């Protein structure tokens, strides 16, 4: 019998990547508003009862980092309270939850990759709301996996890589921040990682090794400027739009929300626990450009 997964936030980048990863062994149901509104516990409960999943996956989130500074109530309603609702209703149904979180729970100080036990310290409302969501999930459901990832992009949705290609359509030079570092993480690779977690949850439900917080990003790291340069280089090779990148400092591009300078995450715990490693970020960019070109 196929493993049945219920995914929140059907229009999100990760939800769409999961939907495309369905197979004969994994049935994936993506549900969003109005059927499933994470801020409405009753709708979450009804969706779980209707779809009868084996595992619940929660990538649904308020992700407008700058807008969150002026809308903290909405950000916390979705990222903290909504996450808690999904975790609680999954627990009530006897189900594990896989919850997606972010590198923005850290302050960005230092240069070493963060491990799961490092002290958190978000510098903005978005990161604060996501950290509160992690705590809400852990309180509500003992059978939880919290996956922190970073710099998510896909051939669909609103994301940095797609924005760069759009800007290259009418600009010769694009100015991009070069002093923030992290791992661009391709949504289809994140989806594959989530499915590896689901396999562990299904195969060893009574073991505790898969519980808790894990870091899961594509391999390697770069700056936003380096990310843009790679997108343009691969697009140029494919005959698509490209531009030159002018590296700038964060101070030259002020935004309402402060971003962590160091978003590096150490993936070794995830890789060892789930026997799965996401590809290098450059490989993700190559496949992203191919997918965009194929339409």
Whether 158 shows a pLDDT value over 80: the answer reads: yes
Asked, for residue 29, whether it belongs to a domain, the answer is yes
What is the total count of domains within the chain? 1
Q: Is residue 201 part of a domain?
A: yes
Domain range holding 74?
3-159+185-217+264-278
Strand partners, 175: 246
Give bridge partners of residue 100 from the DSSP assignment. Answer: 147
pLDDT at 204 over 90: no
pLDDT > 90? residue 23? no
What is the average pLDDT across 15-37? 93
Please indicate, yes or no, if residue 254 is contained in any of the structural domains. no
Active site residue 126: yes
The neighbour count for residue 169, using CB atoms within 10 Å, is: 10
For position 205, what pLDDT does the model report?
77
Q: What is the average pLDDT across 223-241? A: 96
Residue 119 DSSP code: P
Catalytic residue among 126, 153, 186, 253: 126
pLDDT of residue 131: 98
Which CATH number belongs to the domain containing residue 45 in this structure? 3.40.50.720
**Would you give the DSSP letter of residue 105?**
G
Contact predicate 112/62, CB 8 Å: no
pLDDT at 54 (0 to 100) = 96
Give the rounded distance of the alpha carbon of 216 from its chain centre. 9
Terminal Cα distance for the chain, rounded: 33
Rounded mean pLDDT of the chain?
96
For residue 199, tell me if it sits in a domain: yes
- Rounded to whole angstroms, how far apart are CA atoms 202 and 225? 40
Which positions ≥6 away from 259 have C-beta within 8 Å? Answer: 65, 104, 108, 123, 124, 180, 250
pLDDT tens, 163-189?
999 999 999 999 999 999 999 999 999
Strand partners, 7: 30, 57
Is residue 225 included in any domain, yes or no?
no
User: What are the backbone dihedrals phi and psi of residue 143, each rounded to the nearest 5 degrees, phi first?
Assistant: -90, 70
Does 284 reside within a domain? no
Residues 6+ apart with CB under 8 A from 50: none
Select from 127, 177, 181, 185 the least CA-distant residue to 152. Answer: 185
Q: For residue 233, is it within any domain?
A: no
Residue 172: inside a domain: no
> Average pLDDT for residues 85-94, to the nearest whole number?
98
Contact 258, 123 (CB under 8 A): yes
Distance CA 261, CA 223 (A): 9
> How far, in Å, CA of 292 to CA of 195, rounded?
24
pLDDT digits (tens, 9 = 90+) for 100-156: 999 999 999 988 999 999 999 999 999 999 999 999 999 999 999 999 999 999 999
* CA–CA distance, 189 with 186 (Å, rounded to integer): 5
Q: Are 145 and 96 in contact (CB under 8 A)?
A: yes
**Whether the predicted pLDDT of 86 surpasses 90:** yes
Which residues are registered as beta bridge partners of 247? Answer: 176
**Each residue of 43-81: pLDDT tens digit?**
999 999 999 999 999 999 999 999 999 999 999 999 999
Higher pLDDT, 205 or 240: 240
**53 CB-near residues (< 8 Å, 6+ apart):** 4, 5, 6, 29, 95
pLDDT of residue 126: 98
C-alpha 278/C-alpha 152 separation (Å) is: 13
Q: What percent of the chain has pLDDT over 90?
A: 93
Residue 295 has pLDDT above 80, yes or no: no
Strand duo 152-153 + 185-186: pairing: parallel
Check whether 206 has a pLDDT greater than 80.
Answer: no
| Rounded Cα distance, 183 and 221, in Å | 4
Question: Where does the pLDDT of residue 241 fall: very low under 50, low under 70, confident under 90, or very high at 90 and above?
Answer: very high
- Collect all residues with Cβ–Cβ distance below 8 Å to 254 and sequence separation of at least 6: none
Give CA separation, 27 vs 21, 38, 251, in Å.
9, 21, 46
Q: What is the pTM of this model?
A: 0.96
């Amino acid at each position: 019998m196929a493993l049945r997964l219920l995914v929140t936030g059907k229009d999100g980048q990760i939800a769409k990547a999961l939907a495309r990863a369905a197979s004969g062994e994994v049935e994936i149901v993506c549900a969003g508003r109005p059927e499933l509104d994470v801020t409405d516990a009753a709708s979450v409960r009804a969706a779980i009862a209707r779809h009868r999943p084996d595992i619940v996956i929660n990538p649904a989130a308020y992700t407008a980092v700058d807008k969150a500074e002026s809308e903290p109530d909405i950000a916390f309603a979705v990222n903290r309270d909504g996450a808690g609702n999904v975790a609680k209703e999954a627990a009530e149904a006897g189900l594990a939850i896989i919850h997606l979180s972010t590198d923005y729970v850290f302050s960005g100080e230092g240069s070493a990759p963060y491990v799961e036990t490092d002290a958190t310290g978000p510098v903005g409302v978005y990161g604060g709301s996501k950290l509160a969501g992690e705590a809400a999930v852990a309180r509500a459901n003992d059978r939880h996996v919290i996956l922190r990832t970073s710099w998510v992009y896909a051939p669909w949705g609103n994301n940095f890589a797609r924005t760069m290609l759009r800007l290259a359509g009418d600009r010769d030079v694009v100015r991009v921040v070069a002093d923030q570092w992290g791992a661009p993480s391709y949504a289809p690779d994140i989806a594959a990682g989530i499915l590896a977690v689901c396999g562990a949850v299904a195969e060893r439900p009574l073991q505790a090794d898969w519980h808790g917080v894990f870091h899961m990003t594509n391999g390697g790291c770069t700056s936003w400027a380096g990310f843009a340069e790679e997108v343009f280089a691969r697009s140029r090779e494919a005959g698509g739009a490209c531009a030159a990148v002018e590296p700038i400092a964060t101070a030259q591009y002020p935004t309402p929300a402060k971003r962590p300078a160091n978003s590096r995450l150490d993936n070794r715990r995830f890789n060892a626990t789930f026997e799965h490693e996401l590809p290098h970020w450059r490989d993700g960019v190559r496949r992203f450009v191919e997918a965009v070109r194929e339409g």
